[in-house]
Amino acid sequence: MDITAPVGIVGDPYLYDKQYGFTMTPDQLRNPARNPNEVVRPSRPIYRNPNEAPLRKLTVDLIKTYKNINESFYARKQRRHDAHQAVHPTASGVHQSMAQQQQQPPPQQMQQLQQQQPQSSGLQQQQQQQVQQQQMMAQQQQQAHMQPTNDYVLQQQQIYQQQHNNGPNNDGYDDVNFDYIVKEGEFFNNRYLIMGPIGKGSFGQVTKAYDKVEKEYVAIKIIKNKKTFFDQAQIEIRLLEMMNRHDSEGKYNIVQLKSHFVHRNHLCLVFELLSYNLYDLLRNTNFRGVSLNLTRKFGQQLAKTLLFLSTPDLSIIHCDLKPENVLLCNPKRSAIKIIDFGSSCQTGHRIYQYIQSRFYRSPEILLGIAYDTKIDMWSLGCILVEMHTGEPLFAGSSELDQMMKIVEVLGMPPKEMLDQGPKTKKYFDKTEDGVYYCKRARGSYTKPYEPPGHRKLHDILGVTSGGPHSRRAGEAGHSVEDYCKFKDLIKRMLTYDPKLRISPHFAMRHPFLKKTKEEQGSSMAAPQQQQPNKSSKLRRR
């Protein structure tokens, strides 16, 4: 009997027939069909032994498992309690007296008892206290072997939070998500006047503030009041300080970390205040994209940053390069800086395997194989296409959908990568001859994908049709030659094999990104877009 079907359990007047796929009542089973042409099914047992029900077996075994876990836990707890009593008898006496006070009746009842009973002598009081202590110890031992109720477990959790986190919500300073409740006008570290929110993410939140010492505006990143986020933020601080030391003049487009401190159990990072991000810029164009010339300027700066990060002294992988993490320094200029190194690591100290925002996630991360700084180059290729077309190149709704969208454009990944990928079976099946092919779409809710390599990058960029959707036809700087150079660079950035993927050194010297003499002698022009409104929430992917 299939428990996922509408099974006829005890008390249910309907029975589901797995073989024939329809439901019948017990009366229909007992009374044969009157129509002689109808086929009468052979009789079968109506009810099943409830002891054989898979669901019941699972429930009973689960209860037994939890019972054994609870008994073992409270037995160990009692042994630790007894050992603590032997080493610290005075402390145990204090705990017993506190427990004794908690079990005393209210003051009004005490007065009534004192009026009804005569005053006892000092010896009688001592004897009564000894008896009460013995009773309390017996009750504690009995409770230690009892199974905890949900209320008891909840009470213990609340006590733990109060002892280790200054209350369930950090004495009222945090919300239920461990984020600090920011109030405009308050001071952080007796120096920074809070002005208002800038953005929010999984790490915590960012707020604008005024530094009364340096007389300037800054951005403060307030980390969640949780150990995992606190520890990761410390890694971010270490990497930022390392990068800022190697880039004291600010040539390589890395955001400057000015200071850091702890405010009411929240680690706070103080950064220079920048302008809006590249996603805001795209949104202001109604997602029609920016010109090839402006895309080139962004690519030049980002390739230079990746070259800096890949130097042997640093070997830093950003791990979350996307338009939201690239900010303009000034709303009227094209100079940019990279932010959010909260997921970053060094090549020899990789921490996580599940990294990068999905739209910009490299094949090696999707397949679960080893990675290095080349994953940021893959993200850069996706970003440059999106900046010009106005929409993500690979907008997957899941990891499977992401891989299939990549295959639609770039074809099948190399067999060598698929052979060593622990997650290859998530996306591909293999024939008996060892040839990989995409998994078949399962269910009516999935839409079919284009054959591998059927969606051409040539058509996405509009190389010979005047740009994406022919929007740049006739514009200066958008010739077929310009688009051919752009397409060639993107193909090199989006090479499957990271060993063959273009490096930042050669990317900067590619014909599309290589600066002309005029560009080398002039400053960066302002982006030809109207300044958008800053978003208070970060785009989630």
Known binding residues = 221
In contact, 320 and 356? CB cutoff 8 Å: yes
Is 320 assigned a catalytic role? yes
For residue 336, with 0-12 CB atoms within 10 Å meaning exposed, 13-18 middle and 19 or more buried, which class applies? Answer: buried
Distance (Å, rounded) from C-alpha 282 to C-alpha 421? 35
Dihedral sign for Cα 127, 131, 136, 138, please. positive
Binding-site members for ATP are 221
Select which of 320, 340, 376, 482 is catalytic.
Answer: 320
Residues whose CB falls within 8 Å of the CB of residue 95, separated by 6 or more in sequence, listed in order: none
Distance (Å, rounded) from C-alpha 495 to C-alpha 375? 11
In contact, 510 and 502? CB cutoff 8 Å: yes
In 3D, which of 515, 509, 494, 505 has the Cα closest to residue 311? Answer: 505
In 3D, which of 309, 343, 337, 307 has the Cα closest to residue 325? Answer: 337
Which tokens go with 129? 């206290």
Residues whose CB falls within 8 Å of the CB of residue 242, separated by 6 or more in sequence, listed in order: 314, 316
- Number of helices (H), then strands (E), belonging to the chain: the values are 17, 14
Residues whose CB falls within 8 Å of the CB of residue 231, separated by 6 or more in sequence, listed in order: none
Q: Report the residue count for the chain.
A: 541
Helix spans in 356-435 (H): 363-367, 374-389, 399-410, 415-420
Which residues are tagged catalytic?
A: 320
